[in-house]
Amino acid sequence: MQHTISKMLDVELEIRRALSDYLKDPGKAGLDTDLVVLARGLGALPVYADMGGVLLVRPSGEVLVVHSDQEWTEKAEYEVVDAPEWITHAYDSCAERYPGLKDAIAELKAS
């Protein structure tokens, strides 16, 4: 049990580092730099965006979606994603976009 808690804390720390790096230089992620407002406001790393919205991953591993039918500001409405296929898509996109998080994402997928 202690080992699992320790691993999840490591995952959280790695995602927090990636988020901090992203906030310093949002252009490196290859996403619209306007997403930095959502990242900062929601405390979550943007991992995928299309015409419908954006998926973000919080350090806890929670996946959020912000739909594109609103202005993307720090007060944008979001939903917690509970559909397994979208969580997997967000995690896979995260590992592709932020290669340094591959191990952390693998740990999230295993938990």
Spell out the domain ranges in the chain: 2-110
Q: Which residues pair with 49 in a beta bridge?
A: 54
> Mind listing the pLDDT tens digit for each residue in 8-52?
668 999 999 999 999 999 998 999 999 999 999 999 999 999 999
> Mind listing the pLDDT tens digit for each residue in 43-101?
999 999 999 999 999 999 999 999 999 998 888 999 999 999 999 999 999 999 999 99
- Does the model's pTM come out above 0.85? yes
Q: What is the mean pLDDT of the chain?
A: 92
Quick one: pLDDT at residue 3? 53
- Residue keyed to tokens 């988020």: 19
Quick one: pLDDT at residue 8? 66
Quick one: pLDDT at residue 22? 96
Nearest Cα to 57, choosing from 98, 1, 15? 15
Whole-number Å distance between alpha carbons of 17 and 35: 17
